C-alpha cells in the first residue's frame, strides 16, 4: 500500500486547489474544489479571489449572472453551494432531488400536523403541487422576482403555518416552498437584491441557465460520477470523509465508491482512497515546491472537504471553529492552517498568526493580505461563522 504523508497531502491541496492564486478564471477556481460553500454570500467571492490573483469582484459577478457559468444550488448536506453549471445535472440527480423530496415530505407533514391559516382544503400534497405550478408560472411572467413579489402574485404563498410549541414562531409557506423548488431544479437563485454581500436574492426561471432544459442523468451513475469528482479534488481521502461531505449513508457511499477505480493508500496510519492518476510519482509534490500564503474565508471548501481535518491544522481547532462546528476564516502557509484573519468595519484586513513559521511566511502573509484588501474596495465583511480568533481581531 502506498503511503501518503501529511506533508504530501498539504502540497497536493496547495496545487490542486490553487492556493497559490494561480487559477486563470472564476470558473477554474470553483472547478478546482468542485463547489464553493454559498450559505454566506461573501465567502463565494473571497474564495475565488484567494485562488485567482487576477480576478476581480466584477469578474465573479459576471460569471454568476452574466455568463451564468456558475450557479448557486442547494446540494450536499442541504447546504447552498456555488457550482459550475456543467456539474449541476450530476449534483441534481445524485443529491439535490432527494433533498427536495425530503424537504417536501417535511413541509407536508408540518402542514398536516399544525394546520394552517387559512386552512388548506383537500389533499395537502395536491395543494402544494398546484401552488408550485402557479409559482413557476409567476416567475416566468416576471422574469425575476423576490419571495415577497411572488407572494403578491400568488397569495397562497402567504399561507401561515402556526406553531405547536411556545418557542416556535408562525411561518409563511413562502420560504420553505421556494427552497424546495430550488432544490428540485424548478427555480434558480439569481441576482442579489442588494450589494454582493447581500443574503437576499431574486428567483429566476431555470430556462435562463438551461434553455433546452437541464439534462437528467441516471441517479446511480450520477452518484458514481460525484464520487470520482470528489476524489479527483480531495483525494486521497477516507470513505468517512466522503460520507460526511455528501451527507450520505455509509451504504450509499459504499455503492458509489465501489465503481470508482480508486486504490487504497496509507494516510499516516489510516486507510484512504486515491485515484491512481493523482498519485503518479511526478504529480506528488515534494519539498522543492515553494510554500505560499493564502487567506481563505469562513466555510471555504478546502478546510471543509474532509471530516477529519487535523492534518491541515497547525494550531488548536478551538481558535478556528464556532460552537456549531463551522470553520471561520483561515490563514495558510504551505498548506497548513496557522492562524485567522478578519475584515474590519472600515474594510481593513487584520491577521492573527498563532503558529510562527518564520520571517518568510510572515512577509508572504502580509503581502497576501494586502492584495486581498486592495481588491475588496473597502467593503466590510462579517462572516456567518464567527470564531473566537476572528472575533478577537475586531477588538
Domain boundaries in the chain?
100-208, 293-392
Tell me, what's the pLDDT at 87? 98
CB–CB of 46/57 below 8 Å? no
- Which residue, 206, 199, 255, is CA-closest to 227? 255
Determine contact, residues 71/80, Cβ cutoff 8 Å: no
pLDDT for 78: 94
Mean pLDDT along residues 337-350: 95
Please choose, from the candidates 60, 4, 7, 13, the residue with its C-alpha nearest in 3D space to the C-alpha of residue 330.
Answer: 13
Residue 289 has φ and ψ, to the nearest 5°, of -65, 130
Assign 287 a pLDDT band (cuts: 50, 70, 90).
low
Amino acid 47: pLDDT: 98
pLDDT the model gives residue 143: 97
In this predicted structure, the answer to whether residue 279 has a pLDDT above a threshold of 60 is yes
Q: Label residue 324 by pLDDT band (50, 70, 90).
A: confident
Q: Does domain 100-208 sit in CATH 1.10.10?
A: yes
The answer to whether residues 379 and 46 touch, using CB atoms and an 8 Å cutoff, is no
> If you average pLDDT over residues 214-231, what whole number do you get?
97
Q: Whats the size of the chain, residue-wise?
A: 395
Query: Residues 6 or more apart from 135 whose CB is under 8 A from it?
Result: 150, 154, 157, 177, 178, 181, 187
18-64: per-residue pLDDT in tens? 999 999 999 999 999 999 999 999 999 999 999 999 999 999 999 99
Residues 391/318, Cβ–Cβ less than 8 Å: no
pLDDT at residue number 165: 82
280, pLDDT greater than 80: no
With 80 as the cut, is the pLDDT of residue 84 above it? Answer: yes
Looking at residue 285, its pLDDT comes to 61
Q: Tell me what pLDDT residue 68 has.
A: 97
Class of residue 93 by CB neighbours under 10 A (exposed 0-12, middle 13-18, buried 19+) = buried
Average pLDDT along the chain: 94
Return the pLDDT at 281.
Answer: 55
Amino acid at each position: 500500500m502506498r503511503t501518503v504523508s501529511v506533508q504530501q497531502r498539504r502540497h497536493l491541496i496547495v496545487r490542486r486547489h490553487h492556493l497559490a492564486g494561480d487559477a486563470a478564471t472564476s470558473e477554474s477556481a470553483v472547478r478546482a474544489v468542485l463547489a464553493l460553500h454559498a450559505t454566506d454570500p461573501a465567502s463565494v467571492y473571497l474564495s475565488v479571489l484567494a485562488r485567482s490573483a487576477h480576478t476581480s469582484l466584477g469578474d465573479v459577478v459576471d460569471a454568476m449572472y452574466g455568463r451564468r457559468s456558475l450557479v448557486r444550488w442547494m446540494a450536499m448536506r442541504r447546504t447552498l453551494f456555488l457550482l459550475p453549471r456543467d456539474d449541476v445535472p450530476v449534483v441534481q440527480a445524485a443529491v439535490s432531488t432527494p433533498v427536495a423530496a425530503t424537504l417536501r415530505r417535511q413541509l407536508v407533514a408540518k402542514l398536516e400536523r399544525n394546520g394552517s391559516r387559512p386552512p388548506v382544503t383537500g389533499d395537502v400534497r395536491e395543494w402544494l403541487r398546484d401552488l408550485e405550478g402557479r409559482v413557476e408560472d409567476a416567475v416566468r411572467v416576471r422574469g425575476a422576482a423576490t419571495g415577497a413579489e411572488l407572494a403578491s402574485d400568488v397569495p397562497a404563498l402567504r399561507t401561515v403555518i402556526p406553531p405547536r410549541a411556545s418557542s416556535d414562531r408562525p411561518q409563511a409557506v413562502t420560504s420553505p416552498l421556494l427552497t424546495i423548488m430550488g432544490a428540485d431544479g424548478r427555480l434558480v437563485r439569481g441576482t442579489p437584491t442588494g450589494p454582493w454581500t447581500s443574503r437576499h436574492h431574486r428567483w429566476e426561471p431555470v430556462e435562463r441557465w438551461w434553455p433546452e432544459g437541464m439534462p437528467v442523468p441516471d441517479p446511480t451513475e450520477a452518484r458514481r460520477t460525484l464520487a470520482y469528482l470528489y476524489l479527483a479534488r480531495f483525494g486521497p481521502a477516507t470513505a468517512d470523509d466522503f460520507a460526511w461531505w455528501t451527507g450520505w449513508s455509509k451504504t450509499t457511499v459504499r455503492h458509489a465508491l465501489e465503481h470508482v477505480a480508486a486504490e487504497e493508500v496509507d494516510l499516516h496510519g489510516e486507510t484512504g482512497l486515491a485515484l491512481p492518476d493523482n498519485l503518479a510519482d511526478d504529480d506528488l509534490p515534494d519539498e522543492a515546491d515553494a510554500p505560499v500564503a493564502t487567506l481563505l474565508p469562513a466555510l471555504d471548501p478546502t478546510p471543509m472537504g474532509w471530516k477529519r481535518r487535523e492534518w491541515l491544522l497547525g494550531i488548536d481547532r478551538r481558535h478556528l471553529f464556532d460552537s456549531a462546528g463551522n470553520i471561520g476564516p483561515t490563514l495558510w502557509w504551505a498548506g497548513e492552517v496557522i492562524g485567522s484573519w478578519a475584515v474590519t468595519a472600515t474594510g481593513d484586513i487584520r491577521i492573527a498568526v498563532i503558529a510562527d513559521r518564520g520571517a518568510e511566511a510572515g512577509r508572504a502573509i502580509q503581502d497576501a493580505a494586502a492584495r486581498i484588501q486592495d481588491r475588496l474596495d473597502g467593503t466590510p465583511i462579517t462572516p456567518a461563522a464567527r470564531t473566537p480568533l476572528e472575533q478577537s481581531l475586531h477588538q
